[in-house]
Structure 1
Amino acid sequence: MTTKYAALLRGINVGGGKKVPMAELRAVLGALGHADVATYLQSGNAVFSSDEKDANVLAAELEQAIEEAFGFRVDTLVRDAEYLRAVAEACPFPASSLEARQLHVTYFSEPVTADRFASVDAAAHLPEEFRLGDRALYLYAPDGLGRSKLAVALSRPAVVKGAVATSRNWNTVVKLVEMTRD
């Protein structure tokens, strides 16, 4: 039985570096034997179906294929449809009453716990807020991510501590859920 997945590529097609055209990314995924391949936006979101049940195996294979195709490494997270839906449903903020630019989810390669973020003075960043989920962090940034001082504090290397982390705005979170729905 095949499973629907989303591949979340970190840091491509921004600032002139690490260019990965979406048509070529679709071709790479197809060459790996995946079906139902589609991409969303230019920021590294792809969905596909696979018989492989281990998302970490899929991520490692895709990272290797991208490096072979484009000549650089791209950190990649692969998450199944059930996980994506659960993250969206567990949002602790009133997503339906917020603008998409105000709400973001950062997906992590490993579980995130409160002690990882103990050095972040959350009260100093109000009205911005964050909450933790299952390998995810929800960020409410009323003025958008580009102006968020809390987002900067949350992305410091001492906080991320070697985990792969990649953020998506709420529109993208919802779209990936829709695209991976059977």
Structure 2
Amino acid sequence: MKTYILLFRGINVGGHNILPMKALTAILEQCGYQQIKTYIQSGNVVLQSPNRPDQLMVDKMADSFGFKPQILVLDQAEFNRAVQNNPFKASESKTIHFYFLAGPPTVDATKLEILAAPNEAYQLINQVFYLYAPDGIGRSKMAAQVEKCMGVATTARNLNTVNKLLTMSQY
């Protein structure tokens, strides 16, 4: 059995794409996944499976909830690398955000430079965009535009959430 981290994109936000974690767990169990753990309502799942989670679970969710959620699936090694590659380890957890990319980016470096506040720092390593936003993510012009600058779908998690998922993935 391998451990996988599933990062759901855009669920339970603003009353849209409602996906209760208890119901999600039931669907994942129907798909044959084991040791399923969820973290907060925004779609963070750690599970075990002999095979990488696939389209079957998305189709079952569409049948049950009427929408197909976008899900980024990382195996434990990929997730661990993302954590190890964090270039902002010395900063406060709430100021660091990981944007996991759904595929290889087409980076608009000029736009990133324009959007970055003077005290913000960022780095793209493999398929993770790291953002240090000391004034908070809500005040960052870059935070809201990362996906456009990457040219590919992303889903963001703060360092506190990433660390919690890392802990949860240690079966």
Fold match by TM threshold 0.5: yes
Amino acid at match of 1:39: T
Quote the Cα distance in structure 2 between the aligned partners of 1:170 and 1:59: 26
Quote the Cα distance in structure 2 between the aligned partners of 1:175 and 1:37: 15
Counting matched residue pairs gives: 170
Q: Which residue of 1 aligns with 2:163?
A: 174
Q: Which residue of 2 aligns with 1:153?
A: 145
Q: Which residue of 2 aligns with 1:80?
A: 75
Q: Does 1:125 align with 2:92?
A: no
- Give the secondary structure class of the aligned counterpart of 2:36: strand
Q: Which residue of 1 aligns with 2:36?
A: 37
Q: What CA deviation, in whole Å up to 9, does each residue of 1:123-180 have, x standing for no partner?
A: 6522112101121100101111111111123233xx342x331000001111111111
Q: Which residue of 1 aligns with 2:101?
A: 108
1:70 corresponds, among 65, 71, 80, to: 65
Amino-acid identity (%): 35
**Shift, 1:60, TM fit:** 2.2
Given that residues 97 and 130 in structure 2 are in contact (C-alpha distance below 8 angstroms), is that contact kept between their aligned partners in structure 1? yes
Q: Which moved more, 1:60-69 or 1:25-34?
A: 60-69
- Give the secondary structure class of the aligned counterpart of 1:120: helix
Bigger helix share:
1
Q: Which residue of 2 aligns with 1:93?
A: 88
- Change in Cα spacing, 1:175 to 1:59, as seen in structure 2 (3 Å) is farther
- TM-score between both structures, scaled by the size of structure 2: 0.92
Can you give the 5+ residue segments of structure 1 that lack an aligned partner in the other structure? none
Given that residues 147 and 153 in structure 2 are in contact (C-alpha distance below 8 angstroms), is that contact kept between their aligned partners in structure 1? no
**Shift, 1:50, TM fit:** 0.3
Aligned alpha-carbon RMSD (Å): 1.6
